[in-house]
Structure 1
Amino acid sequence: MGRKEKHDRGVSTTSPPCTTSLIPLAALSPIVNEPPTMQLDVYGFGVNCYGQLGLGHAHDHVKEPTLNQHLSKKSVGVVQLAAGGAHCAALTHNNKILTWGLNDDGQLGRQTRGLGDDELDRAKGSPNKREMRPGEVDFSGASLPPDTVFTQVVATASATFVLTEFGDVYGWGTFRDVGDVIGFPSAKDLRQCTPVKIEGLRNITCLAAGAEHVLARSYLGAVYAWGGATKDQLGREKLARRGCNDPHLIPRIGAGAYHSFAIQRGGGVYSWGWNMYGQTGAPQAGDDNYLTSDATVPLPTLVSDLQKENTSSVTEDKRCLSWGRIRGNALGIPDEDMKSDSVLYSNDGAWPKILKTPTLVTRIPGRVASAVAGMNHSLAAVEKGRLFGWGSNIHYEIGLGHKEDVQSATLIDRGGLKDKKVVSAAAGSEFTVLLVE
């Protein structure tokens, strides 16, 4: 679907979608979101066995940052990007939604199967050519209003969702919750292979996606959640009882794989969901509330250590903090930089397991513009456009050309990234995609 030629609202912002500020009710118009406009190149590295890097092949790994020739800023012009479990989605400057990667659950929103010889590739365990390269999502059956403009795309492990300028949400794919297929209400076989409008959502200004759940923040500050709920990642009980208008859940939202965050207008951070490794950052009564698979924070709870930080993906003064499971160097904080009273050790006291308190990620030179976390690796882009990564690197997901884990924040400047400015990063399960000037 092509984007309409004219916008009568002036120049649109390139700010991250989840930092939209509230405006007076009297100024409310049907348009609540503006699309980003900066046209950027796409780079990728890490696991590529399902074609999730969109390079046109399914070689197992890509060791260094590699320019996606199918998504150059001159010919395509991607303005925003999202990474799921093994697929990606992108919004282009001319209002197209492109997808690529694994499509077993309909997460690409377009037909890629039963199209001739490509099925031979599937029989061999490889994705077909239509999945390995970016392709346009078909919205012809979604009953979109004329001249609909998309403003944000997000991806779960096996589903994709888009937000429009009018605050409507469309999605496709499926949800899974601890092995069970939940699917979409309208899907006959639990897989929604084409875009469908998500009913009950109006005037949405921001989306955030976990592994199997999605959050949406409305213009008036209500937070909606849907998808898998086994790990209490929806915070459903409190939101339902209070009509989804909890004053603590106003401006910004975020989601980890099975936990969620919301930020109060004054800067307080609330979290809920799975907490086996202390990933919510919420205070717990004792150490016995960690390290079990059913450890959760069921309702939105204030993260006291972040109360004055006014965070989004980074703090107001452009620092990056991390906490949770220490194993695999996923936090980017060397052991010597952790305060002993913030660390929970193994039963024999031999090695640290959980960092309970949000702690500064050291060794990032400069002010951090944005930070993202994958399954076991993390990335931070500083304001000057340099990218740093740390954590698990067995699949080259940090793009340094080797497979050794990275203990602390390390500059990623190999391959095509040298002398390039990184605008943002998206972390999939074991791969990374970047938007680069």
Structure 2
Amino acid sequence: MVALSRKHRVSSISSKAVSAKRARRSHSLEWLRASRMKSINSIPPPKDVPNDFFVWGSGAMCELGLGPAAKTKEVKRPRLNPFLPKDTVGVVDFAAGGMHTLVLDKTNRVWSWGNNDMGVLGRDTSHAKEVLRDADGTDEDEDEDADLNEAESTPGLVDGLPKERIVQLVATDNLSAVLLETGSVYAWGTFRCNEGILGFSRSVKVQRSPVRIENFDNIVQLAAGKDHLLALDTKGIAYAWGNGQQFQLGRKIMDRTRLTSLEPRSFGLKNVKFVGSGDYHSFAITHDGKVLSWGLNQFGQCGISTDVDDGSIITRPTEVTGLSGKGIVAITGGEHHSLALSSSGEVYVFGRYDMKEIGIEKDKLPLDDCVKDAHGNVRCLPVPTKLTTLPSIKAVEAGPHHSLALSRDGVVFAWGFADTYAVGLGNLDEDVDHPTRIDNTATRDHAIELIGCGGQFSVSAGNKRD
């Protein structure tokens, strides 16, 4: 290996410093220009209704928050979490990540649990021991090997957050963030990329306690992908940061300047009223009703059917014409599928089919719109298609390979990959190919108000009907 000369090293360092300075200057100019624009979005009010909190799915990495002595790591139907009672804790909001969950309680405290390898819990769990389950039980669902980390499997309080009210929580696979009523954002954890840890910021690889994202204000909404975040401000400008290897940040990320992707940056989208995200793709809805998407599109998860081969990418925000005129108010996605919700409560689906993520039965697929593999099997449906088997819906959520929809009368419907029990429908021999009501003793008398999908688990919250 040839050693670099001192002059060469100094030149290289100077070049990086200049690049960083230019990036900061560009960012400042963006804010200056934005300050002259009219505000078109408002920061939402904090949620304040306490709820019962339910969990289900696979919890091998402490995702369910049922404590170390839980008899099973697999919960096949919704179960009330005993550590978050409504009268003393009172869950008002939450966010589910890949292997962890954040909860906001009625007193503005944030609780966390799950795998803490990347610091996503925002609290120290390093000295906790693994605790074997209670061996006295005879439940047929017991795991033979159910040892769980005591601190990670039990909800615990996140330290270091300010006193201002929290209006939203989001969670990626490896990072957590909260939006305050002041419009500022606090985050902790890290971003990962194809090569491993990308980092939390230019100078920090893994951030294990909440810190404020500097020079980032007037934010009204956040959206989380697998390893990237989107944000929307009061002026209608969209921002993105994190891993951009699949163009999910809406801009090209060069290897030599990759660390600049760890700072929130705008990428040309204005007049936006909503941002949404799948694992590796992103969405925006403009004030004039256009739906835009970008990022990985190998299964048509961007809703754009012109290119759906392996590795296909939509490199810049592109209008999803199949959703034009549909009155879309919210949109989200999993690993390779997406869900869009209209103001009238209709749900449109598109993307991968083989694990039944889109919720359309085989004999009801619009075959002319589908893409087939070399064997003639349906690979995906890249054209947004209305789900006709649902009642009026008020919220949709997507895990990597499963989906949830919440009806306006508080009933949850699930479909998709069933092996992890994240659909909450008990023991099943096959994946769920159409929306199916979750109906069990724990939730039957509840009007559910909030739903969420993690990597291999799901969560919900609600109150008993009058």
Say whether the fold is shared (TM-score over 0.5).
yes
Whole-angstrom CA distance in 2 between matches of 1:186 and 1:88: 26
1:337 aligns with 2:364: yes
In structure 1, the residue matched to 2:459 is 433
Equivalent residue, structure 1, for 2:98: 85
TM-superposed CA distance for 1:78, in Å, is 1.0
Q: In the superposition, relative to structure 1, how do residues 247 and 48 fare at CA in structure 2: closer, same or farther (>3 Å)?
A: closer
| Contact 1:362–1:408 under 8 Å retained in 2 | no
Shift of 1:70: 1.0
Whether the 8 Å contact between 1:283 and 1:304 is mirrored in structure 2 is: no
Measure the CA separation in 2 of the matches of 1:26 and 1:410. Answer: 44
CA contact (8 A) 2:238 2:270 kept: no
What value does the CA root-mean-square deviation take over the aligned residues?
2.3
Residue 102 of structure 1 corresponds to: 115
Separation in structure 2 between the aligned mates of residue 329 and residue 204 of structure 1, nearest angstrom: 35
Whole-angstrom distance in 2 between the partners of 1:352 and 1:26: 47
In the alignment, is residue 381 of structure 1 matched against residue 406 of structure 2? yes
Inter-CA distance 32–325: structure 2 relative to 1 (3 Å threshold): closer
How far the C-alpha of 1:291 sits from its partner, in A, is 2.9
Q: Which amino acid aligns with 2:55?
A: G
How far did 1:248 drift? 5.0
SS at match of 1:341: helix
**For 2:423, which of 398, 405, 414 is the aligned residue?**
398
Alpha-carbon distance change, 297 to 249 in structure 1, aligned in 2, over 3 angstroms:
farther
Matches within 5 A, 1:315-326: 315-326=342-353
Equivalent of 1:418, from 439, 444, 449? 444
Following superposition, the deviation at residue 255 of structure 1 comes to 0.3
- Give the aligned residue type for 2:227: E
For 1:26 and 1:270, how far apart are their aligned partners in 2?
Answer: 22
SS of aligned partner of 1:327: coil
Equivalent residues of 2:119, 2:189 under 8 A apart = yes
- 2: distance between equivalents of 1:403 and 1:170? 40
In structure 1, C-alpha distance between the alignment counterparts of 2:148 and 2:326, rounded to whole Å: 44
| 3-state DSSP of counterpart to 2:266 | coil
**Structure 1: gaps spanning 5 or more residues:** 1-23
CA pair 330-32 structure 1, distance change in 2 beyond 3 A: closer
Query: Which residues of 2 match residues 151-170 of structure 1 at below 5 A?
Result: 151-170=167-186
Q: Deviations over 1:44-102 (max 9, x none)?
A: 11001122111113632011110011112211111111100110001112110110011
Query: Which residue of structure 1 lines up, in the alignment, with residue 242 of structure 2?
Result: 227
Q: What's the CA shift string for 1:197-235, capped at 9, x where partnerless?
A: 112311000000000000010010111100011111000
Distance in 2, Cα, partners of 1:44 & 1:120? 20
Instruction: Determine the C-alpha separation between the residues in 1 that align with 2:105 and 2:275.
Output: 24
Matching residue of 1:51: 62
Partner of residue 290, structure 1: 308
Counterpart Cα distance in 2 of 1:84 and 1:156: 5
TM-score if structure 2 supplies the norm length? Answer: 0.80
Q: TM-score, normalised by structure 1?
A: 0.85
Q: Which runs of 5+ in 2 are unaligned?
A: 1-35, 133-144, 254-260, 332-340
1:256 to 252, 275, 278: 278
Counterpart-to-counterpart distance in 2, 1:320 and 1:120: 43
CA separation of 1:247 and 1:310: change in aligned 2, threshold 3 A = farther
Query: C-alpha separation between the residues in 1 aligned to 2:270 and 2:379?
Result: 31
- Which residue, out of 208, 213, 220, partners 1:198? 213
**Partner letter of residue 320 of structure 1?**
V
* Secondary structure, counterpart of 1:75 in structure 2: coil
Structure 2 residue 46 is the aligned partner of structure 1 residue 35 = yes
- Structure 2 CA distance, aligned partners of 1:258 and 1:28? 28
Secondary structure, counterpart of 1:71 in structure 2: coil
Q: Residues 223, 49 of structure 1: CA spacing in aligned structure 2 closer, same or farther, 3 A cutoff?
A: same
Q: Secondary structure at the match of 2:446?
A: coil
2:338 match: none
Amino acid at match of 1:399: G
Partner of 1:303: 320
Q: Is the 8 A contact 1:113 1:119 kept in 2?
A: no
Check the 8 A contact 1:66/1:416 in 2, yes or no: yes
Residue 131 of structure 1, aligned match among 120, 127, 152? 152
Kindly name which structure, 1 or 2, has the bigger radius of gyration based on alpha carbons.
2
Query: How far apart, in 1, do the equivalents of 2:91 and 2:403 lie?
Result: 22
Q: Which moved more, 1:209-218 or 1:51-60?
A: 51-60
- Calculate percent identity across the aligned residue pairs: 35
The Cα of 1:418 is off from its aligned counterpart by: 1.2
Q: Shift in Å at residue 114 of structure 1?
A: 2.3
Q: Which residue identity lines up with residue 192 of structure 2 in the other structure?
A: R
Per-residue CA deviation, residues 121-158 of structure 1 (Å, 9 max, x unaligned), is 7xx9954211111111111xx6x4xx422111000001
Q: Secondary structure at the match of 1:171?
A: strand
1:267 corresponds, among 258, 267, 289, to: 289
